[in-house]
Amino acid sequence: MSAVGQSASRAAQPILPRGLIKTKNRHHTRRITNLAMLGMTAAFTLFAAIPLIWVTVYTVMTGAKYINVEFFTELPASVLQGGGGVSNAIAGTIIITLIAMTISIPLGILAAYYVAEKPNTRLGLVVRFATDVLAGVPSIIIGLFAYGILVKPLGTFSALAGGVAISIIMLPTIVRSTEEMLKLVPRALREGSLALGAPDWRTSLVVLLPAALAGVVTGIMLAIARGVGETAPLLFTILGNDHYSVRQIVQSGVESGMTPIQILRELVLSPTDALTLTMYRYSQDPFPERVQQAWAIALVVMVFVLGVNILTRALTARRLAGRS
């Protein structure tokens, strides 16, 4: 104890005990409190993880039995016949996701650029706010919106309408993650490019985007995982189509002498199906085989979404490790 401390303690009665605390008892109490609190937090952590584990295990156990090659390759068979698969839904989900990506990736990245570059302009603020609001809009409303702007005017349910709805779901994730990544790119890097006389757009494209690329890709992957898992926006947009088959559409198109553009039109503008939508329908079906197939779809969708998430995690971790 220093001289100053001693004179201070003489002047005023110390509130806290001086010197080392040697009481065995105190030590004990603290250790027990510590253990109790630690145990409690551990228990709650475990509790929070239970739903995930439960859902995963249950889905795997129920769904795995009904997965076979036919499930992936065949169109749905009649219930009375039995068997069949959900290749229509797989194709539909892929097509819808591709359409959604085509729309939301360029749009999202460009919007993110603007927001990252001009965060305090009126438009920047509006876009950021709109993105946040959009992320909170119930997905079924987005489905209705796509119905209103596409299904009604075109007079048909279509993969396009589904893709547009899903792209709106994906957009906020892409904008926000890209914006964050662009903001992380050091200012010095920008200046380095601009000081060489590079115009803004070139700096953004050649220097900033590559620097932020890993993060941007992460955001896109998460957005895809989210989009593939959505059902509600598809209810009003794609209708469901047991006979949707890319191979058949292309084949009959070629046979009737359609141009590739026309075939693409046919693919995009036909009613289609999606895994989540099929699962929703089958789960309510009275025939047990349908319900079983719904479980199988649940497993496939879950494995895909979980896989993308884990992969994204792994990539992010590797990037962070590489950076330090």
Partner 1 sequence: MMQMQAKLDTIPAALSVAPASIVKMQAEKLSVYYGAFRAIAEVTLPIHDRHITAIIGPSGCGKSTLLRAFNRMHDLIPNARVEGKLTLDGEPLYGPGIDVVDVRRRIGMVFQRPNPFPKSIYDNLAYGPRLYGVNKKATLDDLVEKSLRGAALWDEVRDKLHQSALALSGGQQQRLCIARALTVEPEVVLMDEPCSALDPVATIKIEDLMRELRNNYTIVIVTHNMQQAARVSDYTAMMMMRPDRAGEMIEFDLTRTIFTNPQDKRTEDYVTGRFG
Q: Which residues bind partner 1 (CB under 8 A)?
A: 186, 188-189, 191-199, 202, 206-207, 210-211
In whole angstroms, how close is the CB of 124 to partner 1 at the nearest point?
12
Q: How far are the Cα atoms of 238, 241, 267 from residue 253, in angstroms, in the given order? A: 21, 18, 10
Q: In whole angstroms, how close is the CB of 9 to partner 1 at the nearest point?
A: 41
Is 195 or 321 the residue whose CB approaches partner 1 more closely? 195
Six token digits for residue 17? 């005990």
CB of 121 to partner 1, least distance (A): 9
Q: Which residues, at least 6 apart from 299, have a Cβ–Cβ distance to it below 8 Å?
A: 59, 60, 62, 63, 64, 67
| Inter-residue contact 221 to 244 (CB < 8 Å) | no
Sign of CA dihedral 253, 256, 259, 262: negative
Of 240, 84, 97, residue with least CA distance to 170: 97
Q: How far apart are CA 109 and CA 177, in angstroms?
A: 9
In whole angstroms, how close is the CB of 188 to partner 1 at the nearest point?
A: 4
Residue closer to partner 1, measured from CB, 20 or 188 = 188
Closest CA to 167 of 107, 109, 88: 107
For residues 163 and 95, the answer to whether their CB atoms sit within 8 Å is yes
Instruction: Compare residues 84 and 215 and give the one whose CB is closer to partner 1.
Output: 215
**Which C-beta is closer to partner 1: that of 138 or that of 199?**
199
Element (H, E) at 261: helix 260-269
From CA 324, how far away is CA 318, in angstroms rounded? 10
Instruction: Report, in Å, the least distance between residue 207 CB and partner 1.
Output: 5
Minimal distance, residue 322 CB to partner 1, in Å:
10
- Beta carbon nearer to partner 1, 265 or 319: 319
Answer left, alpha or beta for residue 137, where phi above 0 means left and psi between -120 and 50 means alpha.
Answer: beta
